[in-house]
Structure formats: structure tokens, C-alpha cells
Amino acid sequence: MTSVYLHVRLLLLLVVGSVPQTHGGRVLVVPGEFSHWQNMRVIVEELVERNHAVTVLVNTGSPTVNHTRQERFQIQRFTVSMQQGDMNQLWGDFMDFWKYQRNGTRQQAFSASVLIMNSFFSYMSVVCKGLAGNKTFVEGLRRSKYEVILSDPFTPCGDLLADILDVPYIIVMRNTFGYTLERMCGQMPTLPSFVPCNPITATDQMNFMERLGNFMNYATHSALFYFHSSVHMSKIYTEIKGEPTDMCKVLGKKADLWLIRSNWEWDYPRPFPPNFIFIGGHHCKPPKPLPEDLEEFVQSSGDDGVVVFTFGSLYKNLTVERRNMFVSAFQQIPQKVVWGFKGERPQHLPANIRIYDWIPQNDLLGHPKTKAFITHGGSNGLYEAIYHGVPLLGIPLFADQPDNIFILEKKGAAVQLDFYKMDADDLVKGLQAVIKNPSYKENIMRLSRLHHDQPMRPLDRALFWIQFVMRNRGAKHLHVQAGNLTWYQYHCLDVALFLLSILTLVSWLISRTCRFCFRKCCWKHHGKTKAE
Ligand SMILES: *[C@@H]1O[C@H](CO)[C@@H](O)[C@H](O)[C@H]1NC(C)=O
Ligand SMILES: *[C@@H]1O[C@H](CO)[C@@H](O)[C@H](O)[C@H]1NC(C)=O
Ligand SMILES: *[C@@H]1O[C@H](CO)[C@@H](O)[C@H](O)[C@H]1NC(C)=O
Ligand SMILES: *[C@@H]1O[C@H](CO)[C@@H](O)[C@H](O)[C@H]1NC(C)=O
């Protein structure tokens, strides 16, 4: 009897398996672009694996997400008044901004900053209005009754959408410059005395001058962010909601959880509220076998092994001069080089170098023949290097990459080179150090052991907390109440002032009493001497 029942159930499962599952939840995802989408995708696929129905929202100008591809999740597009060409232009300007910051005159750097600030303001406003300000679109989403919204703040206004739809909301991110979003909206208590501000200029052990610099770094970022959020974004939020609204308040109140893509084997320790969950390395996996021709090439390296080299998905242009520099350096080393690069290729390639449009990075880093990883220092690639224990040669290009490499360099797991100043000799020396000097391997292996020594996989932790929020319709009980205080209440300045007043009053009373007693006593004494 039971076995028949079991068979019927199994059969039902097989039949029903292809239609949307009712026992999973409905999840809405607002991802970022480029590598941000790659690591959000890992979470999306795991949600699908666990029977949740996932919808990914993509704007019509997105340069990243291919909406025509057949996927196991649904892709829904929202209309923005910006074409893909404009978006590409924006990201090109973004790369130029970093190029001029690192290798340009002051004037170039300044005008690139003004240009990119203006472009980002209009990007944020356009995407925000397309995502949360289109009534038809938002009402369509409301009808789908989502149980949670996951968003990368790289794409603005996921929080406002969650607020309008009244759906629990989870942020997925690595960090913001100056920790502004986390500090000022998420109530993460970041202390300038021992938490280095990013862009990083010092480790977490700072002398007086470094602490002064760190303090000023935080202050500058706070002021810039205040201007951005209060003046610019809050105006758009107010316009969309139709009532006075503050961007930071909406985000801080709305975010049930912050899933942060880092952890303490890498980042410097710092205090955080209980709704911050650290999932660094959630995308790392054991290696799969390499494609046949690549495996053959890797095996042909013998005892010297291979070097894996890539600058990631966003960086496509390499000047002929820089390209030749890399080639002439690689010519001088005994290792084979697997180079992931989409741009124009050198005409004469030495036999120990192979260039591929795309490389299976995780599988290569997990290969026993891999000796070193030359990287721009994007956080996805660095976590894979930590996971597999591959020492690094970091050549940071933009955004948080200099910080990422800086920290691993200080921990003795990486050598850093300056892309704009290095020559072939520096590269050869750097590679030799990383490969021949055992301390780099030992240090990255120590970080790797720390990374693997945790009670659950980072991806499982992410999934547990997402499902926790779905089961419990939010996680407001984890919120610290700091957001409801004014700045003087937060720092207990009112309490200090009160205590100080009491202290002053008591001191005054004591001093008055003493004076009174003293006078009385002296007067008596005086009187007595007079009488005598
Ligand atoms: C998007 O996916 C479709 C279907 O898989 C493919 O034909 C197309 O080339 C892809 N487009 C891009 C830009 O990758
Ligand atoms: C609003 O969204 C709907 C549905 O996605 C779309 O058809 C329409 O063009 C959008 N309106 C604007 C002004 O972008
Ligand atoms: C990158 O190269 C393409 C084609 O070679 C060129 O059109 C574009 O302007 C270059 N971009 C930058 C930022 O140099
Ligand atoms: C760095 O700037 C100099 C001077 O403008 C320029 O000649 C050089 O090509 C730049 N380097 C790179 C790699 O862009």
C-alpha cells in the first residue's frame, strides 16, 4: 500500500516537476552589471536548484545580462530612457576615470571626475525611475506576490521598489567607498581608529599620522555621500513616492539583511550589526576537468607549471606597448602562460603562451600545475585564488582592486605591480618571487585553510539567510536601533552634557559651601583676635 502511494507520489513529482513548483518561494532579483551579475548569478542558480521561482530584473540598456538566452529563471526587462550605446559610453568613461586617476595629469583626473560624477547621477536617476517609478511595471510586479527582493546597490532603488511593494529586502554587496552605505544607512559602527577606510591607505594598525589620514578619508566620503544621498537621490525618491523621503532612511529601514561578499580571512576585522552576514567566496567551487586541449597544454608545462593571467571582463583594451611588455616578460620564464584576453592579439606568440577569449578561471586555479595568478584584483578572482591557495601577482586597474591587492600583499600572499609604471623586468622578478619564494605559497595556503574551516559553505549560509527572511517575512529583530537616534543621541552627547551639568552644579555647590564655611570660620577667628 505504502509502496503504491510512494510510486504515485514519485510519478506525480516527475509530471509536476516541469511546471512551476508551488512549495518554493517567489524571489525577485535586481543584480548589478559585469562581475556583480556573475556572482549574483551563483545565488540565483542555487535558489532555482532549491525550487524557488526566480525573476531577474534587467534594464533595457544593460550591457551584461543576455535576456534572449534560455535560462532556468525568468528574465524581465524594465524600460530605461538610455540606450545600450549610452551605457557602454558610461562604462568607457568609468574606465577612463580610473586611467586618469592613476596615469594622468591633475587636470585630466579632475575633468574625468566631473564627467563621471555627472554621468553616474543621470544613470542612477534614469535606472531608478525605470525600476521603481513606472506604475504599470511596479503594479505588474505586485501581482506576482514576491516573498523577498535581493538587490545589488550597484543598481539603484531596489530598496525603494521593495518599500513600494512592501516585500522583505536583502542587499548583496562587497563594500562601498568609505563604507558610506553600510555606515550611514546600515548602521555599521565603523571606527576610524582601527578600521581602515577604503580606498585603503594603511593596515588596521595605524600610527598617529595614519589615523589622522584615515579620519579625514572617512570625513570626505561622508560629506560626498551626504551630498549624493540627501541632495540628489532623496529628490528622486521623493518624486517617486510623492511624499518627503530620505534615501538613506528607506534603505536602512527596509534592508532586513546585508549579505556581504567578504570575510575575515581576507578583510580586516571590524564590528558589525547582527543583520550583516558575511558570504565571501560563495561562488568558489572545487575544480572541474579542463577542456582537452587546455589540459594538454597545462600538462606539457612539466615541473615548471603554469601561470594564469587575466584582467577580467570589463578591461578589454591593452595598448600595443603594454601588450608587448607582457609578451616579452612571459618569453623569459620557464612556465607556460594561460592568458584570458578578448582584445587584439599579438602577431607572434611564443610557444609557452596561449591566449583564449574566455578561460575556465576557477578550474584553472584549482589545477595542481598552477603556480601563480596574475590578476587585476577583482574580488571574484581573488576569492578563487584564496579558495584554491594560489599566490598572486596583482596589477590593480580600478575601483576596489588596489585595496584588494593591498590587503593580500600585507598578508604576504601577493606581490603588487603598477600597471602604468612596470616593465618586463619587474614582471619577471615579481613572478619569480611569487613562484620561487615559499612564503607566498605558505601565506595564501594559511588563508585558504582559514577560508575552508567554517561550519557551513558561504553559499549555504547565503541561502539559509535568504530562506530565513522568506519564512519569517523579514528579519527586523536583528536591526540595531541606531537609525532612530539623532547624531547627538547616538554619541550620547546629550547624556554627557547632562552629566557634565550635574558635575558642574555639584562642584559649584561644594565650592560655595566650602567658601561659606571658610569665611564663617575665618570671620570667627578674626573676631576672636579682635576681641582679645
Ligand atoms: C545571447 O544569447 C543568444 C542565445 O543563446 C545568443 O544567440 C546571442 O549571441 C547572445 N548574445 C550575446 C550578446 O552574447
Ligand atoms: C513602463 O513599463 C511598461 C511595462 O514594462 C512599459 O511598456 C512602458 O514602456 C514603461 N513606460 C515608460 C515611460 O518607460
Ligand atoms: C578600445 O578599443 C576600441 C577598438 O579598438 C576603441 O574603439 C575604444 O575607443 C577603446 N577604448 C578605450 C577606452 O581606449
Ligand atoms: C600613461 O601616460 C603616459 C603619458 O600620458 C602615456 O604615454 C602612456 O601610454 C600611459 N600608459 C598607459 C598604459 O596607458
How close is the Cα of 156 to the center of ligand 2, in Å? 18
Residue 17 is predicted with a pLDDT of 45
* pLDDT tier, 239 (very low <50, low <70, confident <90, very high otherwise): very high
One-character DSSP codes across 293-310:
HHHHHHHTTGGG-EEEEE
Whether 253 and 349 share a structural domain: no
Q: Whose CA is nearest to atom 7 of ligand 4?
A: 103
Distance CA 291, CA 298 (A): 11
> For ligand 4, which residues put their CB under 6 angstroms from it?
103, 319, 322, 420
Residue 19 is predicted with a pLDDT of 44
Torsion of CA 116, 119, 120, 121, to 10 degrees: 120
> For ligand 2, which residues put their CB under 6 angstroms from it?
78-79, 134, 136-137
Tally of CB atoms within 10 A around 183:
19
* pLDDT tier, 317 (very low <50, low <70, confident <90, very high otherwise): confident
Provide the sign of the torsion angle of the four alpha carbons 181, 61, 46, 386, taken in this order. Answer: negative
Query: Directed axis angle between helix 234-241 and helix 106-132, to 10°?
Result: 20
Distance CA 331, CA 351 (A): 9
Which of 452, 467, 500 corresponds to the end of one domain? 452
Whether 197 and 344 share a structural domain: no
Share of the chain above pLDDT 90, in %: 86
User: pTM of the prediction?
Assistant: 0.91
Tally of CB atoms within 10 A around 343:
12
Please state the rounded mean pLDDT for residues 498-503. Answer: 98
Over residues 320-335, the pLDDT tens digits come to: 999 999 999 999 999 9
> Does some domain include residue 310?
yes
> Does some domain include residue 142?
yes
Number of Cα atoms under 13 Å in the Cβ half of residue 144: 20
Spatial CA neighbour of 116 closest among 101, 129, 132: 101
Res. 7: pLDDT tops 70? no
Please state the rounded mean pLDDT for residues 305-318. Answer: 88
Give me 348's grid cell.
607572434
Over residues 80-133, the pLDDT tens digits come to: 999 989 999 999 899 999 999 999 999 999 999 999 999 999 999 999 999 999
What residues contact 228, with CB distance under 8 A and at least 6 apart? Answer: none
Residue 315 is predicted with a pLDDT of 75
Q: Whose CA is nearest to atom 1 of ligand 4?
A: 103
Res. 212: pLDDT tops 80? yes
Cα distances (Å, whole numbers) of residue 150 to 158, 165, 172: 8, 13, 7
> For ligand 1, which residues put their CB under 6 angstroms from it?
66, 68-69
Over residues 171-198, the pLDDT tens digits come to: 999 999 999 999 999 999 989 999 999 9
* pLDDT tier, 521 (very low <50, low <70, confident <90, very high otherwise): confident
Q: What is the mean pLDDT of the chain?
A: 93
Over residues 29-78, the pLDDT tens digits come to: 999 999 999 999 999 999 999 999 999 999 999 999 888 999 999 999 99
Which ligand is the nearest neighbour of the Cα of 133?
A: 2
Res. 286: pLDDT tops 50? yes
Whether 276 and 237 share a structural domain: yes
**Edge-to-edge order in the sheet of strand 336-340:** 353-356, 336-340, 306-310, 370-375, 392-394, 414-416
What residues contact 70, with CB distance under 8 A and at least 6 apart? Answer: none
Residue 1 is predicted with a pLDDT of 45
Whether 312 and 190 share a structural domain: no
Whether 272 and 323 share a structural domain: no
Bridge partners (DSSP) of residue 76 are 57
How close is the Cα of 343 to the center of ligand 3, in Å? 10
How close is the Cα of 420 to the center of ligand 4, in Å? 7
Please state the rounded mean pLDDT for residues 391-404. Answer: 95
Whether 415 and 467 share a structural domain: no
Whether 437 and 462 share a structural domain: no
How close is the Cα of 78 to the center of ligand 2, in Å? 7
Question: Ligand 2 pocket check: which of 60, 80, 135, 136 to mutate, most ligand atoms within 8 Å of Cβ?
Answer: 136
How close is the Cα of 104 to the center of ligand 4, in Å? 8
Q: Whose CA is nearest to atom 5 of ligand 2?
A: 137
Are 178 and 54 in contact by the 8 Å Cβ rule? The answer is no
Are 404 and 396 in contact by the 8 Å Cβ rule? The answer is yes
Whether 186 and 44 share a structural domain: yes
Element counts in the chain: helices (H) and strands (E): 20, 13
Q: Whose CA is nearest to atom 6 of ligand 4?
A: 103
CATH of the domain at 159: 3.40.50.2000
Are 306 and 290 in contact by the 8 Å Cβ rule? The answer is no
Whether 264 and 349 share a structural domain: no
Torsion of CA 104, 105, 108, 109, to 10 degrees: 70
How close is the Cα of 63 to the center of ligand 1, in Å? 12
* pLDDT tier, 316 (very low <50, low <70, confident <90, very high otherwise): confident
Alpha helices in 347-437 (DSSP H): 361-365, 379-388, 401-410, 424-436
Bridge partners (DSSP) of residue 310 are 340, 375
**In the chain, how many domains are there?**
2
Question: Ligand 3 pocket check: which of 311, 316, 317 to mutate, most ligand atoms within 8 Å of Cβ?
Answer: 317
> Does some domain include residue 296?
yes
Q: Whose CA is nearest to atom 10 of ligand 2?
A: 79
The domain in which residue 270 lies consists of 26-282+457-478
Q: Whose CA is nearest to atom 14 of ligand 1?
A: 66
Res. 340: pLDDT tops 80? yes
Which of 21-25, 201-205, 279-283, 402-406 shows the lowest mean pLDDT across its residues?
Answer: 21-25
> Does some domain include residue 287?
no
Q: Whose CA is nearest to atom 1 of ligand 3?
A: 317
Res. 416: pLDDT tops 70? yes
Residue 522 is predicted with a pLDDT of 79
> Does some domain include residue 319?
yes
One-character DSSP codes across 458-491:
HHHHHHHHHHHHHHHT--GGG--GGGGS-HHHHT
Distance CA 131, CA 428 (A): 48
How close is the Cα of 335 to the center of ligand 4, in Å? 29
Whether 243 and 297 share a structural domain: no
Residue 104 is predicted with a pLDDT of 93
Res. 391: pLDDT tops 50? yes
> Does some domain include residue 525?
no
Whether 98 and 245 share a structural domain: yes
Which ligand is the nearest neighbour of the Cα of 99?
A: 4
How close is the Cα of 130 to the center of ligand 2, in Å? 8
Which ligand is the nearest neighbour of the Cα of 68?
A: 1
> Does some domain include residue 45?
yes
Are 395 and 374 in contact by the 8 Å Cβ rule? The answer is yes
Res. 10: pLDDT tops 60? no
> Does some domain include residue 254?
yes
How close is the Cα of 466 to the center of ligand 2, in Å? 30
Distance of CA 96 to the CA centre of its chain: 21
Number of Cα atoms under 13 Å in the Cβ half of residue 212: 3
Find the radius of gyration of the CA atoms of the chain. Answer: 29
Over residues 447-466, the pLDDT tens digits come to: 999 999 999 999 999 999 99
Whether 467 and 375 share a structural domain: no
3-class SS of residue 457? coil
3-class SS of residue 218? helix
Distance of CA 465 to the CA centre of its chain: 18
